Amino acid sequence: MITGASGGLGAALADALAPTHTLFLAGRPSERLDAVAGRLGATTWPVDLADPDAIPAVVEPIVELDVLIHNAGVAYPGRVAETTVDQWRSTMAVNVIGAVALTLELLPALRAASGHVVFINSGAGINASPGLASYSASKFALRGFADSLRADEPSLRVTSVHPGRIATAMQEDLVAYEGREYDPGQYLSVQTVARVTADAINAPRDAHVHEVIVRPR
């Protein structure tokens, strides 16, 4: 299961894993999500991470799950003094609470498969980035949840992926906030991050990749 798979890194992750996995593409129903699913022969799964109360009924049919990839996320560019409480609430709701809620509901299915939970984190989850106050805080929290899950669920593999800046629409918004010209060639491609993530997922069963840090050259 991949969250946020309608485009960008999520769609690239789906492309990278389609040859080796049966895909559940989770997210709010949309034409873009349907297009990715149609191209790969995948199944869409209507999950709204901003509505954790609805998640149990949605995922209840899943009894075994090999891999859960938390890719969905939101970011509101802004330094601390520029942010609002509503932005913090929205960021934490999707980036942290939604990921926690989905993981908790899928724990029995993951345990049944001795599965793997992957968190697409960020360099901002290791070192806070200027102008990304609420986003950085949410990624630090997500890293803490991943570490706790790894410690408390020894039958699972848990990996945090911390890429540097990726050439995505989110990146364009951040560069515009910074008042600079956007050049996708300066950043990691979504295909590169997807391939690195797929390598961690497809590692031999006796390997447990705790953390992946990848930066643009």
Catalytic residues: 135
Q: How far is it, in rounded angstroms, from Cα 25 to Cα 33?
A: 8
CB 159 within 8 A of CB 196: no
Q: How far is it, in rounded angstroms, from Cα 89 to Cα 45?
A: 25
The dihedrals phi and psi of 32, each to the nearest 5 degrees, come to: -65, -45
Percent helix, strand, coil in the chain, to 5, is 50, 15, 35
Q: How far is it, in rounded angstroms, from Cα 78 to Cα 101?
A: 27
CB 159 within 8 A of CB 105: no
